[in-house]
Structure 1
Amino acid sequence: MMLDYVIYLMFAVVAIIFFSSAVRILREYERGVVFTLGRFTGVKGPGLILLIPAVQQMVKVDLRVMVQEVPPQDVISRDNVSVKVNAVLYYRIIDPERAIIKVGNFMAATSQLAQTTLRSVLGKHELDEMLAERDKLNADIQEILDQQTDAWGIKVTTIEIKDIDLNETMVRAIAKQAEAERLRRAKVINAMGEQQAAEKLVEAGRILAQEPQAMQLRYFAALHDIAGERSSTVVFPLPMDLLSHLTQRPDGAP
């Protein structure tokens, strides 16, 4: 009787071990790449998966978007400026079979590829383009990465450049350049204002020249403005046409 109990207990233990090694439960975002005697036999999941112990093995794959930080890279721009650039990479697995079979470690491979592509793409642009056109550079890097990782069953959704670190000398040079640019714009705006004012003065002079009475009214208005100021001496120009009227004889003789 005792022997039968031990045998039953052994069968129960073996059954539990067999069941635990044969049954797998995969979540909604997981897939299982199944190998039978070393050969690929399919992708299963999600839900309950039954495997043959010692005959079938399964590699679990996460299909969610993964976030990976690209460490700072030394980049020399096209105008020979040395900077350090880091980025954030977002990607996901779209084909579990290729992600497991085509590449040994898809996470490490994607990270190394992102680093080399980041240096290659940014090295073709000048520093001003790196600072002002990040969206365009992100799109270019993402397109190149996506083309190369497609063979691994990986989709690169986006890559974002985080920081572009410059040395102190370059920071001071950029600050001086920005200040010079602001001074240039101020001088251009001032010159444009003077040009517009001169054009208006020329136009006003033409209008006043056509009406002598308007010119005299303008003189009187200027005299009124000067009289309102705190000045003991007022120098006022006398129109030449007024002098000609005053010096002209009544009989019209010169």
Structure 2
Amino acid sequence: MFMDFNIGLAGVLIPVLIIVLASSLRVLREYERGVVFQLGRFWKVKGPGLVIVIPGLQQMVRVDLRVVTMDVEPQDVISRDNVSVKVNAVVFFRVVDPEKAIIQVENYLLATSQLAQTTLRVVLGKHELDEMLAERERLNLDVQQILDAQTDAWGVKVTNVEIKHIDLNESMVRAIARQAEAERERRAKVIHAEGEKQAAAALLDAATMLAQRSEAMQLRYLQTMTQVAGDRATTVVLPLPIDLLGKLFDRPLAPQAGQPSPPAQTPSGPQTGTV
């Protein structure tokens, strides 16, 4: 009878030991760590690999060390110039200290999400709408630095923050379009004025050069006549400068019959002779 009792006891204990041993074994992947508590107190961080946890005496909490991609819900932001916009972003972070991530905060995922929403509203509210649209990289860096400083106590490292969308209402979109159109018109007028200024300066230089040499003016006049002659106009009236004729005819014309000859010109100034 005693042998039968031992056999029965062994038949009960062996399955119990197998169950206890199976429940005490944990397998942690390369990106996982186990925060082990012994009788409610923090004991150590284990993993990766095979980990033994004593049932009833120890408890283990798994922590994922991979980068978490968290989508921040659209936030209503009022800019410094009193423009209401909706902004959403994405936050990239990971756990670097499993002990702090479990002990210092109840739920580090929820806490990081709420902190990202609040920080996004605060940081963007300090800037004007034009800065939000044109300087996203600087705003991303500001939000990332603030989040990283505040989540450091939780063992969480915020690696990057990216603003995805800045949604404007229809009236503000039309106002921005009108502003952009006015800016383009202003640039076009400035470019046109600069071109007129440069053209006027070039014409002034050309006129100065032509005024210095009369031959250049004659050549320019003849070139203009050649260009006009090639056009299809039937009647062309061209002014003929008098000084041009004087250059073309070096000798005076002979006097006609019945007209007195021009008086001979005597040299002016004192005359000298020999005796």
TM band (smaller chain): over 0.9
By how many angstroms is 1:237 displaced?
Answer: 2.8
Alpha-carbon distance in structure 2 between the residues aligned to 1:10 and 1:127: 74
User: 3-state SS of the aligned residue for 2:12?
Assistant: helix
Partner AA of 1:17 in structure 2: I
Identity in percent: 64
Alpha-carbon distance in structure 1 between the residues aligned to 2:238 and 2:168: 63
User: 3-state SS of the aligned residue for 1:229?
Assistant: coil
Alignment of 1:151 onto 2:157: no
By how many angstroms is 1:15 displaced?
Answer: 1.2
User: 3-state SS of the aligned residue for 1:147?
Assistant: helix
Report the counterpart of residue 68 of structure 2 in structure 1: 66
By how many angstroms is 1:216 displaced?
Answer: 0.7
Report the counterpart of residue 18 of structure 2 in structure 1: 16
By how many angstroms is 1:73 displaced?
Answer: 0.1
The 5 Å alignment of 1:33-48 reads: 33-48=35-50
User: 3-state SS of the aligned residue for 2:111?
Assistant: helix
By how many angstroms is 1:60 displaced?
Answer: 0.5
Report the counterpart of residue 139 of structure 1 in structure 2: 141
User: 3-state SS of the aligned residue for 1:231?
Assistant: coil
Alpha-carbon distance in structure 1 between the residues aligned to 2:89 and 2:181: 30
By how many angstroms is 1:206 displaced?
Answer: 1.0
By how many angstroms is 1:12 displaced?
Answer: 2.3
Cα shift readout 1:55-83 (whole Å, capped 9, x = no counterpart)? 10011000000011000000011111100
Alignment of 1:239 onto 2:241: yes
By how many angstroms is 1:219 displaced?
Answer: 0.8
Alpha-carbon distance in structure 2 between the residues aligned to 1:148 and 1:108: 14
Which 10-residue stretch deviates more, 231-240 or 91-100? Answer: 231-240
The 5 Å alignment of 1:209-248 reads: 209-242=211-244
TM-score (norm 1): 0.94
Partner AA of 1:155 in structure 2: K
Report the counterpart of residue 272 of structure 2 in structure 1: none
Kindly tell me the number of residue pairs found equivalent between the two proteins.
253
Alpha-carbon distance in structure 2 between the residues aligned to 1:220 and 1:177: 51
Alpha-carbon distance in structure 2 between the residues aligned to 1:146 and 1:211: 77
User: 3-state SS of the aligned residue for 2:217?
Assistant: helix
Partner AA of 2:234 in structure 1: S
By how many angstroms is 1:239 displaced?
Answer: 2.6
Alpha-carbon distance in structure 2 between the residues aligned to 1:209 and 1:237: 18
Cα shift readout 1:200-237 (whole Å, capped 9, x = no counterpart)? 11111111111101111101111111121121221323
Alpha-carbon distance in structure 1 between the residues aligned to 2:215 and 2:85: 71
Which 10-residue stretch deviates more, 5-14 or 218-227? Answer: 5-14
Gapped regions of structure 2 (runs ≥ 5): 253-261, 266-275
Gapped regions of structure 1 (runs ≥ 5): none
Alpha-carbon distance in structure 1 between the residues aligned to 2:4 and 2:166: 76
The 5 Å alignment of 1:1-254 reads: 5-242=7-244, 250=252
